[in-house]
Amino acid sequence: MTDRPQRLRIADREFHSRLIMGTGKFASGELMAAALDASGAELVTVALRRANLTGQADPFANILEFIDPKKYLLLPNTSGARNAEEACRLARLGRAATGSSWMKLEIHPDPRYLLPDPVETLKAAEVLVKEGFTVLPYINADPVLAKRLEDVGCATVMPLGSPIGSARGIETRASIAIIIEQARVPVVVDAGLGAPSHAAEAMEMGADAVLVNTAIAVAADPVRMAEAFRSAVEAGRAAYEIGVAPKRREAEPTSPLTGFLDEA
Amino acid sequence: MKLDQIAIAEKATAADVEGALSRSRRSLDDFAALISPAASQPVYLEEMARQAHALTVRHFGRVIRLFAPLYLSNECINICKYCGFSRDNPILRVTLTPDQVQTEAAFLRQQGFRHILLVSGEHPHFVSDRYLGDCVARLRPEWPSISLEVGPMETEQYRPIVEAGAEGLVVYQETYDREVYRQMHTSGPKKDFDWRLETAERAYEAGFKRLGIGALLGLAPWRGEALALAAHCQYLLRRCWMAQLTVSIPRLRPAAGEFQPLVPVTDREVVQLVCALRLMFPEVGIVLSTREPAKLRDGLIPLGITMMSAGSHTEPGGYTGQGRDELHLTKGGRLVKPPRPAIESEGEHATVQFEIADSRSPSEVATRLQEIGYEPVWKDWDLALNET
């Protein structure tokens, strides 16, 4: 059993859903909206570089129009930024344009594997927290970095399971286990979750939430895949709260051998 | 590039192809096998296409980024036998003023474009680094993403252009075959093969975030070009690790000078090469221009394309007629007094670099993308990411 609250709490907000959705790679805005609905997500991340940040409506950069602000808390992200300075600038423009001070901090200078830069992420997190942002940083599964980010006031840490879009699942399992064990803020496993079973695995490990994008967006049927992830996250979380049986090397009979001692 | 890779590209066996198809991370040897005649067998080509599609969707999603070229100038001091802008072609030339560039750009913006590629011939006097910086600075407030395809420059010349707001630089080697390169480029700074080859690195040093490289198919045997392009790509991925890399494999198109491709490349071979590039470089962007006809473009999209131009004009002033009053004829690089009636006639315009093959409008292309299950993305970058 766990004494953690049933609901996910990030900063001052509570969420029923522990599935956070990304909005990239969908074949259309309509399909994305339908998948978001099916996922049950309440927190949705959007790349600010896709949105119009001038404050004026733009039919050619209208991704935000597909995300109903009454249903979802918008979590803009700084993807595209290669250093702290770019990320902070984008975050400020994003807040001005969207009104959201929640920010998924993403700084990946390497466009090939999109692996996050720990040095620049910590630097930017410190600045943005001081400026009043609720910062959710995307990081490699580095337990020390996670603590440092927590110390500067980040609302969560978001370690990757494997590179973005790779669908390789939780390759960083041992480090994520340490991060979960040590965390005082919610741990969101982000990136690389390619199948509902990966999401369930993260939740069974004790992750507070997962973020999924590619696996749903590029599925043949994104809406049904969103439902599948939703179920997996719920199942994984329930198993974690109930307590998953520890693994053993040998078989354990379901009828104990010493059971006769208790017989009348 | 090792010589034996060219041998593989020519003589790979079915087993080599199957080996290359079975791996998830591929070597240059594998790439060579994938562009071989053996791999062009329908059964392998279909498997390549299937894998290329899956990789593209996974890495880039069901989206295509759209951009438009804006030709600034067709003045050029190089003689390149295949190019419409070649100095020795007697054509109508003009260099747009920054004001005129802004007018052309406004038209493209109205059509939806938020990513623009400024293109010009190589002419240090008309198309100076300062002029390019002025054009970029002028467009910056309205354009989240500005790239350049202009004559190669020194790192120090690029820096102010980057500071003005440009984020991408495109330079095609044309041909990686040194001998063919020498024969094609007979005069002007472009004669220097290595100076051109090292352009992407100088651009990276100067702060460009997107680098585009490519080979112009039709000049030298395509398998050799493809291998060299892949080796160049591999090198840049390590050397310029923070840059977003794109590759392009334009085929020669009809142009002034009437140059005919020395080695024609078939549609099937273009398809094979796009698939092979995608299998070799899952994360690298592949750009497709309006040089290719609509049907082939539509067919190539699912196989690895990530960026497309649409509704393009390849002459300065092509969109709104800017610069029409300043047109002048040059012959052998020298100004010839224009024949007045020709200049004054309705619809007179600067000469194109090459004829486009897909003449659909941007909105028609966007509609077609939606029909085949892709989202046309007009904006995928923000000014905030450019300020340095």
Segment B167-185, tens digit of pLDDT: 999 999 999 999 999 999 9
Identify all chain A residues contacting B57, using CB atoms and an 8 Å cutoff. 25, 218
CB contact under 8 A, A24 and B112: no
Contacts of B63 in chain A (CB under 8 A): 24-27
Domains of chain B: 62-383 (3.20.20.70)
Cα separation, B149 vs B122, whole angstroms: 10
Residue of B nearest to A51 (CA): B379
Domain annotation covers residue A155: yes
Q: Return the minimum-mean-pLDDT range out of A127-141, B125-139, B156-170, B323-337.
A: B323-337
CA distances (Å), A213 to each of A20, A36, A135, A184, B282, in order?
9, 10, 19, 26, 18
Mean pLDDT of chain B: 91
Question: Closest Cα partner for A125 from A79, A160, A95, A156?
Answer: A156
Count of CB contacts below 8 A, A vs B?
A: 89
Helices (H), B12-97: 14-22, 28-34, 42-60
Residue of chain B whose alpha carbon sits nearest to that of A109: B242
B387 vs B252, residue with greater confidence: B252
**Is A54 at the interface with chain B, CB within 8 A?**
no
Interchain CB distance below 8 Å, B382 and A217: no
User: What's the rounded mean pLDDT across residues B368-374?
Assistant: 93
Domain count for chain A, please give it. Answer: 1
User: Is the pLDDT at B257 greater than 80, yes or no?
Assistant: no
Average pLDDT of every residue of chain A:
90
* Chain A residues within 8 A of B379 when measuring between CB atoms: 49-52, 58, 60-61
**Residue B2: its pLDDT value, please?**
54
Band of residue B345 on the pLDDT scale cut at 50, 70, 90? very low
Give the model confidence (pLDDT) of A193-226 as tens digits: 999 999 999 999 999 999 999 999 999 999 999 9
Active site residue A104: yes
Window 13-42 of A: residues touching B by CB (8 A cutoff) are 24-29
**One-letter amino acid for residue A65 of the chain:** E
Contacts of B6 by beta carbon, 8 Å cutoff, 6+ apart: B32, B223, B224, B227
pLDDT over 70 for what percent of chain B?
Answer: 96
* Average pLDDT of the residues in A226-249: 89
Whether residue A257 lies inside any domain: the answer is yes
Least confident segment among A2-11, A72-81, B35-44, B110-119: A2-11
Q: Is the ipTM of this complex over 0.90?
A: no
How sure is the predictor about B340, in pLDDT bands with cuts at 50, 70 and 90?
Answer: very low
Q: Higher-confidence residue: B224 or A98?
A: B224
Amino acid letter, B135:
C
Q: Do B244 and A111 touch (CB under 8 A)?
A: yes
**Are A90 and B382 in contact (CB < 8 Å)?**
yes
Q: Domain range holding A97?
A: 8-262
Minimal Cα–Cα distance from B91 to chain A, Å?
Answer: 37
For A145-169, write each residue's pLDDT tens digit.
999 999 999 999 999 999 887 889 9
Which of 114-143 (A) contact B at CB < 8 A?
none
Q: What is the pTM for the complete model shown?
A: 0.86
Residue with tokens 């938020």: B114
8 Å CB contact between B120 and B69: no
Q: Are B130 and B144 in contact (CB under 8 A)?
A: no
pLDDT of A128 reads: 97
Of B114, B375, B387, the CB nearest to A27: B375
CATH no. for residue A214?
3.20.20.70
Q: Which residue did the predictor score with more confidence, B345 or B270?
A: B270
Lookup: tokens for B366:
């966007």
Q: Which of A94-108, A183-197, B264-278, B318-332 has the lowest mean pLDDT?
A: B318-332
* For residue B1, pLDDT beyond 60: no
Q: Match 């696996």 to its residue by tokens.
A: A215
B174-197 average pLDDT score: 95
Active-site residue, selected from the candidate residues A25, A70, A71, A104: A104
A85 lies in some domain: yes
Q: Rg of chain A's alpha carbons, rounded to an integer?
A: 20
Q: Indicate yes or no: CB of B60 within 8 angstroms of CB of A58.
A: no
How large a percentage of chain B has pLDDT more than 90?
A: 74
Banded model confidence at residue B328, pLDDT cuts 50, 70, 90: confident
Distance of CA B143 to the CA centre of its chain: 20
Of B251, B305, B281, B276, nearest to B12 by C-alpha is B276
pLDDT for A105 equals: 96
* pLDDT in the model for residue B338: 57
Please judge whether B381 and A217 are an interchain contact, meaning their C-beta atoms are less than 8 angstroms apart: no
Instruction: Point out which residues pair with A76 in neighbouring strands.
Output: A46
Q: Please give the radius of gyration of chain B, using alpha carbons only, rounded to the nearest integer.
A: 20
State the pLDDT at residue A137. Answer: 97
A70-79 pLDDT per residue, tens: 899 999 999 9
Report the alpha-carbon distance of residue B152 to residue A184 in Å, rounded. Answer: 53
pLDDT digits 0-9 by tens, A53-88: 777 777 777 788 788 888 999 999 999 899 999 999
